[in-house]
Amino acid sequence: MLPKIILAMLLVVLAACAPASTPSSSAPTPTSIWYVQVDAEVDYLRPLFNLCAQQNPAIGIVLVNESYADTRTVDFFFHWGVPEPETAQEYAAVLGTDSLVIIVHPNNPMSNLTVEDLRSIYQNSIREWNELDTSAGFLGQIEVWRYLPERAIQEDFETLLETPALRNPFAMLAPDPDAMRQAVSEKPAAIGFLPARWLDASVKPLIINNMTQEALSQPILVTYSGEPDTLKQNWLLCIQDVLERTR
């Protein structure tokens, strides 16, 4: 009997030492993979894509570069303003609004400009800050910043000033709003422009005296091919809701 007792005790010890089985914690594999492209003007939307995808584990988001070669393979294209539709099968929905805002360095004492002032600055007719307001005591040559001609916000800015193809030979080029904001935040004499949702404490917005907010406003759009199913509709509605709550 003794060997059997020893064997039974050994089995109990081995059982106690065996690792406990744990339930699988791996995330479900997405069954709906969507290719998403986003313009630099509305790149702040990126965190919302996965945030809203978390409501359904079936959704998988693949972000593609803005210069993605074949945009026809993109399920959703998020952008600023209204581009020309590429095909008759494309649909577009407005998710929210943004607006164009003129920015300067926080130490710049200027608080407002007229459209005429702005046009003169970007046409290189006004080159010094004290030409705009001698009483402000702000000296220095204006450092002008703009975007590449193909950027939607650059086109809108030129339309706003009613001066197509503005070309200040001394203007500095920013590839995107993030670079524009950083450049103006580091240059006390700089001036530039951003979508308002890019604003933070590192730059100072200026009021355009004779310009309505409606004229500065632009839609945040999503373009997609075909009617979206319920899964896609719910995802887009979630993004729209977050945008509305963070205006």
What pLDDT is stored for residue 167 in this prediction?
A: 67
What pLDDT is stored for residue 32 in this prediction?
A: 85
What pLDDT is stored for residue 4 in this prediction?
A: 38
SS (H, E, C) 158-180: HHHCCCCCCCCCCCEEECCHHHH
Which H or E run includes 7?
helix 2-17
What pLDDT is stored for residue 21 in this prediction?
A: 46
Q: What is the DSSP letter of 25?
A: -
What pLDDT is stored for residue 85 in this prediction?
A: 56
How far CA 20 is from CA of 9, 15, 25, in Å, comes to 19, 10, 15
d(CA 105, CA 236): 36
Burial class (CB in 10 A: 0-12, 13-18, 19+), 27: exposed
The tens-digit pLDDT sequence of the chain (247 residues) is 434 333 333 333 333 444 444 444 555 677 889 999 999 999 999 999 999 999 888 899 999 876 665 555 789 999 998 766 555 567 889 999 999 999 999 999 999 999 999 999 999 899 999 898 766 677 789 999 999 988 999 999 998 888 765 667 889 999 999 999 999 999 999 999 999 999 999 999 999 998 888 889 999 999 988 888 999 999 999 999 999 988 7
Tell me the three state secondary structure of residue 188: coil
> What Rg do the C-alpha atoms of the chain give, in angstroms?
27
d(CA 91, CA 201): 37
